[in-house]
Every structure is written in C-alpha cells, then in structure tokens.
Amino acid sequence: MTLDAYLYTSPGGRPENQDRADFRLEGDRGLFVLADGLGGHQDGAAAAERTVEALLTPWDQDWSDSGQQDKDPLASLLQDSILEANRRLLEDRQNGSHGRSTALTLAVDGPWAAWAHVGDSRLYRLSGGGIGHATQDHSVTYKKYLAGEIARRDLNFDEDRASLLRVVGDEARCLPQTGGAPAAAGDAFLLCSDGLWGYLYDEEILVDFLKSDSPQAWAELLLLRVLPRLTTDTDNLTLLTVFLT
C-alpha cells in the first residue's frame, strides 16, 4: 500500500490566512496535520504555525512504541504532540500572545490509522463506499446535535458553531480526543477547517471522492462546489486529501 496526498489552503474572504497544514509521506507511512488559528490576525496565524510544528514532531519518532501502555500507542503519540503544542502556546501567552488554535492530526502506518484532535477542524474517513465523521466537533453546536436538539445537516449552519469548547492554547480546555481504525487500499481521508466543511454536505464529499482517481482530483471537485458558495466574509478554508492505494 502507498499513500498520496494533496493540500490546498486559501484566506477565503479574509485579509489573512490563519489556517496552517502540512504532511509527511514515505511509502505506506504518513503524517497529516492541520491547525486553524484563533485570536486575532497575527496571533492566530502564529498559533496555528506553532501548533503545526508541534504536530509534526512524531514523524521522527519511533511509531512502534510510543512509551504508552495502551492499545493504541500511535494515537497516544499524536495526543502527546497536541499537548506539546498547547505547552508552546501557553509559553507564548506569557509573552503577550493571545493566539489559540484548533489541532487535527492523522497518522497512517501500514494497516492502521490513528488520529487526535482539539476543536472543530474535521477528519472524514471514507471506506467501503461510505463516509464517516472520524472526529466530533468540540463546539456548542455539536453538543446540541448530540443532545438531539438539531439534525446533522444543521451542524453547518447553526449560530453556535463557532463557540468552541476545546482549544489549543488554554490550560483547562486543551483536551485531545483520539481514535483509530484499520486502513486499507481504497480508503481515503479528508482533513479540513470549518471554512471548508461549513459549505459541504457529507453526500457531496462522498460523491466527489467516488468520481476521483487521485487526491488532487478529489480536492479540485470539492473546490468546484465550495468556491461559488463563498461570500466576502467567508473564513479561511483548508483541505488535505489523502488516498491509500
């Protein structure tokens, strides 16, 4: 099995892009990260940059043993990288920064994928002809959905969707959530910020994936849908598409 990925980011309707994303690939091993900065233009961008730097640190570590005694050492390693990002942003706050960030990280190691996140940057997993939300938004809106107050299709439009319950750069509210699943050829992942998922339905993401033969082709189809829907005050948007072949 091999991995392939494609990254696109845009400021949308904003004067500055506070999203950051990056990835590393080698054979059937890959690390994919995304951060959506919060807290003012300069501080938000710096916080996202610092977060991505921390999220990439597991790439040079031993994935066979993260030092954690649990059933998914790789997920623990990703969780630790988010906590390291939080530590760095808290240090920055002591020097006057107000920056905070979401964090989303995915690692694929042969037949296994693991992920960790804080905030509302999303990971979609496509497998077996279907689509699933690998992550749950850490937002007031998602809490309302879990409580049955709104439908899933309302997540994109609810007035409280920007009210985040967990963020990186906050001593009490950086609480990473982790997950994992088998990975196989034919599977795919989409990492994206709210500036993208807020304008897409799950069915559209799935249909465009099924039409595509590469992560770039998939991303381009998604952008063809999203870009005409954007307005002058649209948030930054970032997507990172990953194919397992």
Tens digits of per-residue pLDDT, 132-164? 999 999 999 999 998 999 988 888 888 888 889
Q: What's the length of the chain?
A: 245
In the block, tokens 């107000």 appear at 98
The dihedral built from the CA positions of residue 142, 123, 51 and 77, taken in this order, carries a sign that is positive
Tens digits of per-residue pLDDT, 10-42? 998 888 899 999 999 999 999 999 999 997 667
Q: How far apart are CA 238 and CA 236, in angstroms?
A: 7
CB 223 within 8 Å of CB 17: no
Q: What is the mean pLDDT of residues 86-103?
A: 92
What superfamily would CATH give domain 3-135+167-244? PPM-type phosphatase domain (3.60.40.10)
Q: Give the predicted TM-score (pTM) of the model.
A: 0.94
In the block, tokens 């985040």 appear at 164
Instruction: Collapse the DSSP code of 154 into the 3-class scheme (helix H, G, I; strand E, B; otherwise coil) and give the result.
Output: helix
Q: Which whole-number Å values give the CA distances from 48 to 39, 126, 225, in the listed order? A: 10, 26, 26
- Domains of the chain, by residue range, sit at 3-135+167-244
Phi/psi of residue 235, nearest 5 degrees: -70, 165
